[in-house]
Structure 1
Amino acid sequence: MNTLEKLIDQAPNLAFEMSDNTPVVRLGLIATVYFKEGYLLESKQKVLECFDRFKEEFGQHLKGQFDGRYKKLTNESFKKTTLKILETGANEQYEWHISSAPTASEAAEYSLSALNSFEVHGNQKRSYLKITLPWTLLQEADGAARYQNWLLYLCNQVKAEHGYGGLSSILPYDYDSYMPMEFQLAQQFSGLEVDSMVHNFKRELLNHIKGVNWYTILGSYFAEQLGGEDQIRHAFSGRGDVEVLSYDNGLIIRAGELPELGEKNEPLPAAYVAVNRVVKSLRIPNPDQLHTYLPYGDGFEEDSTARWYARFDHEDNQLKAPARLEAGQPCSVTGYWFSPAQAGSRRHFQQGDILPSFSGSSWGDTLWYWSGE
């Protein structure tokens, strides 16, 4: 089966309903971006433009909103909340969610959420903007392109500093009871982003990124830490399954044409592992627990959180391939390898083949990286 066929086959196993048919866990597509200075009026205006566009495109699906409390979304309440946010001061926080879920106890197919920072905190907290769309969008001819256009739009609107996008378990606004399900699914599928407590990372992600998914967003600050745009593009030049896109404030790395679930009994998604290998140094070194409140059973504690963040680090052990090999050494595992020392270098080697060297490369020594079977 190809990637989309696998997704279609597994999707029913990643959704849960209550006895009254209320959906409480859905498989969805998300994009979450973090940005600076959410307290500025200009920033608020840009965020509200995102809400206007979202309502214009998906308004027929939208039924509820959270603005102090969860309530029905109407044209009048939408306008009222817009004006209220524009009138907030630099040290007032606003939180707004618009959603296809009519109540706080139902998981949404469509939603847009925002939470801002305070001026008094300066550069010590981040604001975030998050979109949720149904995974079935990928079955439409232009669905993947529509999702990507939305992700690029959000990044440009708020000059995103970093973020991520891909598949995730979507929980209700009142999510506490369903965190154990999010935890269990994340143990089975490495491609699922754990994002129920997105608001918890605003301080932790000041100088680090959360990690890798289908899309990994790197603002200019983070791109420079990896050597800049040219170096990043060069690092992936040998791979046909990784694309580097530009936005106004940085780069977006896409791992594969479509997102992957990464089922536990299968090899890790090769493109995700390749991106992780390049950006790993930017990741939170000592992450706080993904779930900080566990009243209803199993969830992410300290050890399981650390394992989740490192979930794409273990491919070399699974495949019995080293992280890298120097030119002149024999290939240790039959399959595809690539070297950032030369563009388009990805090629197939048999175990025992001597890995070649590229002379005169500005990259320096020729190092070969595992790229998949």
Structure 2
Amino acid sequence: MEGILHDKGEKNEGAEFYGEDFFFAPDNNSLDHIDKNGKKLFDRAVKKLGVLKADEMYAFEPALALGGVESLTYLAKVNLPVHMKFLKQVTPLRLRTFEDLSAALYGTSYSVDDLTSGQDAESQYQESVQAGEVCPRTGFWTTPAQPNTRHYCKKGEVLPEIKEQDWGEVYWYWDGEN
């Protein structure tokens, strides 16, 4: 679909290319483009226009960046390389940095230097789990709700909830195997 072109209702210069949705989407359903009426388009497009060949894609005609409408009525099969070249000409392509990609993946922006500064990548961030949830790995866990204490938990066990405290939500942070 032309879902890689996101125009937020703007035309030409304001339209934005956003490939990260393809790479970081949690499942196939989240890639389905929603039309102007809030309906998913992909299955209806296949039914109306047929299955795509390797060099084809579904696209709105006219393109969204040129004022097209997000509707099955205006969806067509187009040649993928030709249409992508066309979209590149009518929409600005914003290059992503490593920091942008790590923020999209992990919720925190890391530089290459951050992740390669002599420590292994795992030690660069602290894994956290909310109290009452299943422990994802065996080892020692700490929580700011009980400073200077460590709790040993095996993978699959439930990390304990801490009662009688004014802390709010309690999160446990992995503190190593020793």
Structure ID, larger Rg: 2
